[in-house]
Amino acid sequence: MKVAYLALLLILFGSCTQTQKTAPEKETVSHDSCQTELCNPVITTILERRSIRKYKPIPVEKDKLELIVKCGLNAPSGMNKQPWEVRVVDSQDYIDGLTEIFKKENPKMAEDPNFKNMFRNAPALIFVASPKDGSGQLDCGLLGENMMLAAWSLGLGSCCQGGPIAFMKSSEAAKPYVEKLQISDDYQLLYVIGIGYADESPEAKPRDMNKAMFIN
């Protein structure tokens, strides 16, 4: 009886040992072997973001626009002055109406069969204004970058544009559309960011890393 009991123990022990030997080892990734852009979602978003100039005719969800703006408003600013005013427009009536004025004053642009609106066909817009005295432009740049990165992380493309702002400031017919944005008297439009679902996948433009130097 004792011999049979010992034999059973040996069989069970051997089976356990065999199982431990054949079990696959867990794969571990060391910090040194991990490429930063593949391990850090923030860095991945920064390196993969592209300026998008072709958009699908799909509206952008309001909750996504709200989150994008929230990320922008959390940008740093000197003395926490937050010298910006942000206006979100996803009204097709606004975009189409302003575009019609643009087409009348720039008829050659309207000849392009792919031309739908003056904001690279983006279905949603985020206007940013800064103080007229020139202060706050650096802070507004940080605000805009935050929003474009947030948009990309949410599966949306974006493009920062200055041309439409120049037109809106110079065109008498466009003034009612500027007034609708309700920008404070001591502020002026600085740029607009087109937001939408990308209809293109542009390659990264080359970057000159020699522009950066370490000084000893």
Segment 134-187, tens digit of pLDDT: 999 999 999 999 999 999 999 999 999 999 999 999 999 999 999 999 999 999
**Looking at per-residue confidence, does 27 or 87 come out higher?**
87
Nearest alpha carbon to residue 50 among 193, 201, 194 = 201
Q: Which residue has the higher pLDDT, 20 or 99?
A: 99
pLDDT, tens digit, 9 for 90 and up, residues 27-82: 333 344 456 556 899 999 999 999 999 999 999 999 999 999 999 999 999 999 99
Q: Residue 22 above 90 pLDDT?
A: no
CA 54 vs. chain centroid, Å, equals 15
Give CA–CA dist 68/16, Å, rounded. Answer: 55
- Please name the amino acid found at residue 87: R
Quick check: pTM over 0.85? no
At the top level of CATH, the class of 59-196 is: alpha beta
Name the residue ranges covered by the structural domains of the chain. Answer: 59-196
Residue 68 and residue 195 in contact, taking contact as beta carbons nearer than 8 Å: yes
What does the DSSP 8-state code read for residue 211? G
| Residues 125, 24: Cα–Cα separation, whole Å | 52
